Structure 1
Amino acid sequence: MTDLSAKVAKDQSNVLAKGPFQRLLRTIGPGFITGASDDDPSGIGTYSQAGAQLGFSISWTLLFTFPLMAAIQEIAARLGRTTGRGISGNLCRHYPVSLSWFVVTLVFVANVVNIGADLSAMGDALKLLVGGPSSLYVVLFGAICISAIVFLNYSRYVTVLKWTTLSLFAYVGALFLAHVPWGEAASGILIPSISWNETFFTTLLAILGTTISPYLFFWQASEEVEEQQLDPKAKPLRWAPWQASPAFSRIRADTLMGMAFSNLIAIAIVITSAATLHKAGVTDIGSSTDAAKALEPVAGRFAFVIFAAGIIGTGLLAVPVLAGSAAYAVGEAFRWPVGLERRPKEAVAFYATLASAGALGMGIMFTPIDPIKALYWSAVINGVCAVPVMAVMMQMTHRREIMGEFPVQGWLRALGWLSTLVMSLCVLGLVLQWVL
């Protein structure tokens, strides 16, 4: 009887393990975390500024970017899963050293600027909540983020990242407190509106730069390698083509969920800012204090708390991802031992680079730079840097000597090149506006 009970219990456990919720948890991986980290304090600042400046009319860009960002992220993930190497690891083996270091330098510099801007916004947000010196909070947050990624076990750290994504739901709450004119908001999302001026192109490039950022490509590609190495049965698809079908299906589901989540939160922030800041005539956000003060009369003090807490929560998610992707880029280019599953003593140079990116980011912010302005312009820098990175990645993933039986083809390749073209045109439009 005991044996029978044990068997029944085991069977029930197996059924539960195969239930929809468990399958969802297993599907959530690098793509979902990448999508959530896309809504970092830089993204929040950019989307808030976009909504304040241009109102609901800019919302359509986030619907437009969804298939583009999903395609380019899936391509990055396929590269990592197919080759067993990240973007830099493939670059340094198949392309000239000069090109490899050009790309790696762009990514590292953009990430350091982004880290500094994010940490500064986090420090400013905590100062709003509890008072005290924001510079001390910058150092505190920087130390927490870097220490967590260096000293926590990889599997445990990934779990922390997944739970941190819940902080983004704060902005969904803010959306329903903002008294949104939903007809006007829907029109802004569904009907494209283009203004031929510098403000529009700068804002559009900032949105694209924070939505389709180089650090996201490097992170997701490298994390696919990490996930594959943790599974003793999994091999790079070039050498295990029979694993390709389930691997690509899982990558697509994971990436689509992550990018959809990212864009839904972004739309919530833009609409909230448009319905409050833009309607109140606040079209230029000078600081997080200005944004909070503008929100408070409409949604009460809770809006102020949401704004500040959201920046802190998303920063705790994004800063480690930014530092980690910088370390992957540099470490793979030097062919060092890399990977968050390794202990620090097994990958000293990799972790030293990771810590250096965080430290440099902290140092940048000990300057008289406005946090929200820094967030906004770091997104513009990301947009400019993304163009050469995307072009190289698209060319790389079409080469059979790199991808074996699985070069990126068809509609996915078309969307990847469309994403690259759109980003290039935005950069060109911005340059022409500056010149003319």
Structure 2
Amino acid sequence: MSTDRINVLPADGAPLSMPEGLEARLRDRLRIAKLRAAPRTLTNRLTLGLALVGPGLLVMLGDNDAGGVVTYAQTGATYGFSLFIPLLIPLGFIAYLVQEMTIRLGAVTRRGHAEMIWKRYGAFWGAFSLIDLVAANILTLMTEFIGIRVASAVFGVSYLITIPLAFCFIIGILLFLKYHSWERISLFVAALNLVFIPLALCAHPDWSAIGRTFAGGGWAVPGGLFSASFLILVSANIGTTIAPWQLFFQQSCVVDKGLLPQDIAASRRDLMLGVVGMVLVAAAIIALAAQYLHGLPNAASLGDNDVLSAIGTHIGRAAMIIFALGLVEAGLIAAIVVTASSAWAIGEAFDLPRSINLEPMQALPFYGPAIAGTALAAGVLMLPHVPVGFLNLTVQVIATVFMPAAMLFLLMLLNDRELLGEHVNSPIRNALSIGVMVLLIVCNGLYGLVTVFPNAL
């Protein structure tokens, strides 16, 4: 283990040695401070901007996970060029609204989301939010390994090889890299999410049909707006846009990166880049599926394997290989960030040393539970007969069900002037956030109603 230390000499001359995780964070801050103090040339400004990006891009591109890719493909295959394409714009706005609050909360308090809930509202509500998060994260991780499992078959490699390799990569970069290196490698993986955009462009979608969706064309819903299949896909699309793990991840990421209130503006730009990327990728997948998969039997229940097979049949093997690579990337980047969100949340809840800057042996209690959860998800997907199609869609809907409670805690924290001072929510932000919570509750209620009483609406 490295013994390098940042030593400070107090008045008596005896050196003080700071915790190793804090050392690395201070080095990152020193790098940013030097860039801020440098002459305001274009090169220096770009370098500073690149140094500050990370949490926003990771959380939003990680949001386009393997389960999300299949959900978008199911959406396009079921409803074609429909209201779901323009719907991505307000969903992107909702994602920005929600995640921006975590930036302010993390930068001002320098505390993670789980820690804030635990200390502000007590052990009961802290445990409630943590159990919700960990349960949802394990289910989400299963969908990521589903994507990796199915895509590996395209390349003729057994999932008994690819899933353990993916697990080792996810845990390896978490254990053995400092935050800065972990973030840069994760950003490289996340950038590969954009592969779906050129794939969709090369498939020559019907641009006039896409344009008509923004003018209300194709908005008619077979079976009606209250049909079970439509409500399930609406809930799933919302669930793949905003999920509880994102709140915990981005706030803790802001803290571990060492961002401060003066970095909020840059972090908002980082988040906006991530939202734009997320919306473009989602639109590309829906358009691709609408062009070539619309009208397939049982389109709403297509699994990863069905989507890949249909793309291979209708577009060609090259497109299927690119889509499979995108599916592997989507599963990998989401598994990286979801695992990190579990580690940070558990570490914060139990007041453990918690930073990706820590050495492995120092942080086993911090890393251990997250590694166990990821191992459980990977182990389940190595079983031979897993209902992958059902699990994919169910997890996205579960994320929608858990989200109102997570948003309520976030909203209460963002209105705590003792914590945030001038950075509390404005009345407009509060009204919009409450509107999002109401939307989620209504979607959940309607989905539950048509599930239990199919003929109620």
**TM > 0.5 fold call:** yes
Compared CA separation, residues 370 and 136, structure 1 to 2 (3 A): farther
Task: Tell me which of 408, 420, 423 is aligned to 2:440.
Answer: 423
* CA–CA separation in structure 2 for the residues paired with 1:189 and 1:266: 16
Letter in 2 for 1:403: L
2:172 pairs, out of 147, 166, 173, with 147
Identity of aligned residues (%): 25
Change (3 A) 1:303 1:285: farther
Q: CA offsets, 1:261-312, max 9 Å, x none? A: 1111111111111111115556145433321221224322121011110011
1:411, distance to aligned residue in structure 2 (A) = 2.7
| Alignment of 1:204 onto 2:254 | no
Once the two structures are superposed, what CA deviation does each residue of 1:331-383 show, in whole Å capped at 9, x if it has no partner? 11111111112222222211112211211111232442233432222111111
Instruction: Name the SS for the 1:346 alignment partner.
Output: coil
Q: Output the CA distance in 1 between the equivalents of 2:264 and 2:163.
A: 39
What CA distance in whole angstroms lies between the structure 1 residues aligned with 2:70 and 2:303?
9
Of 365, 384, 388, the residue aligned with 1:349 is 365
Residue 187 of structure 2 is aligned to residue 170 of structure 1: no
Confirm or deny that 1:287 pairs with 2:310: no
User: How far apart are 1:51 and its partner, in Å?
Assistant: 1.1
The 3 A distance-change label for structure 1 pair 189 and 264 is farther
Q: 2: distance between equivalents of 1:317 and 1:356?
A: 18
Alpha-carbon offset, residue 37 of structure 1 = 0.5
Point out the more displaced range, 44-53 or 170-179: 170-179
Residue 310 in structure 1 maps to residue 326 in structure 2: yes
How far apart in 2 are the matches of 1:110 and 1:101? Answer: 14
Matched, 1:31 2:47: no
Is structure 2 residue 209 aligned with structure 1 residue 184? Answer: yes
**CA–CA distance in 2 between the matches of 1:398 and 1:133?**
51
Task: Specify the alignment match of 1:394 in structure 2.
Answer: 411
Residue 391 (structure 2) pairs with residue 374 (structure 1):
yes
Alignment check: 8 A CA contact 2:137 2:245 kept: yes
The CA distance in 1 between the partners of 2:298 and 2:284, in whole Å, is 18
2:250 aligned residue:
220
Name the structure 2 match of 1:128: 154
The answer to whether the Cα contact below 8 Å between 2:112 and 2:248 also exists between their aligned partners in 1 is: yes
**Which ranges in structure 1 are unaligned for 5 or more consecutive residues?**
1-11, 235-243
The equivalent residue for 1:4 is: none
Q: How many residues align?
A: 410
Q: Contact 1:286 / 1:370 at 8 angstroms: preserved in 2?
A: no
User: Where do 1:13-412 residues align within 5 Å?
Assistant: 15=41, 17-19=43-45, 21-57=46-82, 58-129=84-155, 131-189=156-214, 191=216, 195-228=225-258, 234=260, 244=261, 246-279=262-295, 283-367=299-383, 368-412=385-429
Amino acid at match of 1:434: T
* Aligned 1:2-21 pairs, distance under 5 A: 15=41, 17-19=43-45, 21=46
**Cα shift readout 1:394-426 (whole Å, capped 9, x = no counterpart):** 112111233233212233333322222222211
Q: 1:400 to 1:33 in 2, by over 3 A?
A: same
Instruction: Give the AA of the match of 1:156.
Output: S
Deviation at residue 193 of structure 1 after TM alignment: 5.6
Task: After TM superposition, give the deviation of residue 100 of structure 1 in Å.
Answer: 1.0
The range that moved more, 197-206 or 49-58, is 49-58
Judge conservation of contact 2:142–2:380 (CA < 8 Å) in 1: yes
Q: Which amino acid aligns with 1:270?
A: I
Equivalent pair of 1:52/1:282 in contact (CA under 8 Å): no
Closer, same or farther: CA 13–96 of 1 in aligned 2, 3 Å: closer
The answer to which of 212-221 and 51-60 deviates more is 51-60
Describe the SS at the equivalent of 2:237: helix
1-side partners of 2:271 and 2:429: how far apart?
13
Q: Deviations over 1:47-68 (max 9, x none)?
A: 1111111222122221121111
Instruction: Indicate the SS of the match to 1:376.
Output: helix
Task: Give distance in 2, aligned partners of 1:119 and 1:280.
Answer: 25
Counterpart contact for 1:103–1:389, Cα < 8 Å: yes
Amino acid across the alignment from 1:52:
A
Give the Cα separation in 2 of the matches to 1:334 and 1:152: 23
Q: Is the 8 A contact 2:248 2:341 kept in 1?
A: yes
Letter of the structure 2 residue corresponding to residue 423 of structure 1: L
Backbone CA RMSD of aligned residues? 2.1
Task: Confirm or deny: 8 A CA contact 2:144 2:330 kept in the other structure.
Answer: no
Moved more, 172-181 or 110-119: 172-181
- Between the aligned partners of 2:220 and 2:333, the Cα distance in structure 1 is 33
Runs (4 or more) in structure 1 with deviation over 6 Å come to none
CA distance in 2, matches of 1:107, 1:49: 26
Q: Which one has the bigger helix percentage?
A: 1
The Cα offsets for residues 97-118 of structure 1, whole Å up to 9 and x where unpaired, read as 1111111101101101111221
Q: CA contact under 8 A between 1:113 and 1:364: conserved in structure 2? A: no
Matched-pair contact (CA < 8 Å) for 2:64–2:282: yes
TM-score, with length taken from structure 1:
0.89
